[in-house]
A and B are shown apart, each in its own frame.
Chain A
Amino acid sequence: MSDLFIVDDLTVTFPTSRGPVEVVKNLSFTVGRDDTLGIVGESGSGKSMTALAVLGLLPRGAQTSGSVRLDGTELLGKSERDLRAVRGNAISMVFQDPLSSLNPYYTVGLQISEMYQTHQGGSRRAAKQVAIEALERVGIPDPERRVDHYPHQFSGGQRQRVMIAMALCCSPSLLIADEPTTALDVTVQAQILELLAELQSTTGTGMIFITHDLAVISSIAQRVLVMREGDPVEYGTAEQVFSDPQHEYTRMLLDAVPRIDDEVPA
């Protein structure tokens, strides 16, 4: 498994009135082709900041150090213009809340095709065709008609399918899914996870799957990174981390997952 994506000693710092605060500290990990890395941790552990830092989407004032390489190309320190060519094209992102992450003023077709046109060019008609095919691939029924619908006309699960269709329309090398199932109910969650796994196996896209839900990670990731307050706490294969956790915090997280054979408290 060759390493597609290498993050080395990544640190993200925010200036505050009480001095600089490190929200991600000395983070290192790799993602191979076809590989899924699960990043897990509580809210505020720096998971999402890591994803945003990779794409240069951090809020104004944030500073990054270290190295982020995709296929050997360094991304940290690239100009905004160069990063735009990477975003959505080589590295795509799926966000947590699909309703607020899609623009309510435009049809899903336009939102997919504008991204395709930006990176691949071509006519509006061709881009719309790509959008229809992308919707079909993620299992949206009647895509020719649905392509002209607005986000609020889709169910929660379908919206997330639209987000995934959009993220994959330019065939990226790496997909970052930031809590993509958190806003969905459990049955829809399972469908989305299944879809992501299936698409990954057909496209060969590397994936970073960010979640606070260990159960989700265990079903999808080959490697796991546990984060706490910006620190990488534990990093290893999913099997290692789940069967033989080395760090007290990981054990605590694993113990917090309710199990079906748990005794009911009196």
Chain B
Amino acid sequence: MTRYVLGRLGSVVLILLAVCLFTYLIFFKLSPDPAVMICGKTCTPDRINSIRDVLGLNQPILTQFWEFLRGIFAGRQYGSVHCPAPCLGYSFQTNESVWSMITARLPVSITVAVGAAVLWLLAGVIGGLVSAVKQGTWWDRTAMALALGGVSIPNYVLALLLQYVLVVKLQVLPFPSAVPFADNPVLWFESYLMPWVVLAVGYACLYARLTRSNVIDTLSENYFRTARAKGLSGSLIMRRHALRPALTPITTIFGMDFAGLLGGALITETVFGLNGIGKMAADSIAKNDQPVIMAVTLLAAFFVVIGNVVVDLLYTALDPRVRVVSS
């Protein structure tokens, strides 16, 4: 087991290195010259050249990549500007190190992701479970029709609709803003409620459909029939012999979805004006602020890779068949 864990962690390092390299190549070789972007309107060739010198763009690509990697662990100097470790680059448009931009915004994205995840897991799994147990009834049909509708509504449409109804018309919720929890827990909750719901609806509908089909599959398994033939109580049969097998595959999907969201909910954060990683990504794309775009891409990749490993390890705990093979 320890060997398996160490092996997985080793592969994480390699994957992250490969992601770093590819991201670096894409952003610094295939996109417009960052020196020109920084130089602005009153630009001269000399100025471009001196910016290229400061950014190290005149050096060979591998040296540049090495400098970038070294910066992550040891910090980096851009002319007179110092970027302390971990340096993921420096935004000359905002005059901030990208790392400090990320750390300022990450709590907002985490709050959005965690809140939404709790909502969609609860609604999706419970809804799907009830539908499976009441298969073919009006509840099942209604819930699944709603789920299909929910999956089909784009995030931004739902966000604008909710804002119009709940904030503008009924005025039951404030306009979302990144209120810290410690300042005002009630306002914090009210501010994040709409982003959570908007983000959760699509996932909840998807998870409801997944849970329903997984549970229905499990109910037709031979071991479920055995559990009934053993005379076990209904709740024990459902809990032990239907839910656990049905929900185990959902952890995989959940791990990936949640990890993806930690890298920023681009549309939701932008529509609600929440200053998270997603909005920062959208803003930096609009301004072509390459160090930020690259760092956000790396961060998203980092979360997805780590999410994958966590799911793999969790799976070995949840499914004994995987445990034996892995050890």
Task: List the interface of chain A (C-beta within 8 A of B).
Answer: 55, 57, 80, 83-89, 92-93, 95, 97, 100-106, 114-115, 118-119, 150, 152-153, 163, 166
Contact = CB atoms under 8 A, between A and B. Distances in A.
Nearest to B245: A105
Q: Which 8 A-B pairs have the closest CB atoms?
A: A87-B231, A88-B231, A88-B230, A100-B222, A103-B223, A115-B230, A93-B229, A150-B320
Given A114-B230, A114-B232, 11 more contacts: A83-B231, A88-B229, A88-B231, A101-B226, A103-B226, A103-B227, A104-B320, A105-B244, A118-B230, A152-B320, A166-B230
B222 A97 contact: yes
Nearest to B227: A103
Contact of A103 (B229, B233, B234, B245): B245
Interface in B220-253: 221-223, 225-234, 236, 240-241, 244-245, 248
B319 interface: yes
Nearest to B218: A103
Given A100-B221, A100-B223, A101-B222, A150 B321 contact: yes
Residue picked from B223, B229, B244, most chain A C-beta under 10 Å: B229
B321 A104 contact: yes
Contacts of B244: 105
B324 interface: yes
A25 to B, nearest CB: 24
A101 B225 contact: yes
A118 B232 contact: yes
A104 B223 contact: yes
Contact of B231 (A85, A101, A103, A106): A85
Interface in B193-232: 221-223, 225-232
Contacts of A89: 231
A85 B229 CA distance: 10
Nearest to B220: A59
Interface in B242-291: 244-245, 248
Interface of B: 221-223, 225-234, 236, 240-241, 244-245, 248, 318-321, 324
Contacts of B221: 100
Contact of B228 (A87, A104, A105, A114): A87
Nearest to A178: B229
Contacts of A101: 222-223, 225-226
Contacts of B223: 100-104
Contacts of B241: 103
A105 B319 contact: yes
Contact of B230 (A87, A97, A153): A87
A102 B225 CA distance: 10
A115 B231 contact: yes
A105 B320 contact: yes
23 contacts: A55-B229, A57-B225, A57-B229, A80-B234, A87-B230, A88-B230, A92-B229, A93-B229, A95-B225, A100-B221, A101-B222, A101-B226, A102-B223, A103-B227, A103-B240, A105-B318, A105-B319, A115-B230, A115-B232, A150-B324, A152-B324, A153-B324, A166-B230
A148 to B, nearest CB: 11
Contacts of B240: 103, 106, 114
Contacts of A152: 320-321, 324
A57 B231 CA distance: 10
A92 to B, nearest CB: 8
Contacts of B320: 104-105, 150, 152
Of B223, B227, B232, B245, most buried by chain A (CB within 10 Å of CB) is B223
A46 to B, nearest CB: 17
Nearest to A114: B232
A91 B53 CA distance: 85
A127 to B, nearest CB: 13
Contacts of B228: 57, 87
A163 B318 CA distance: 23
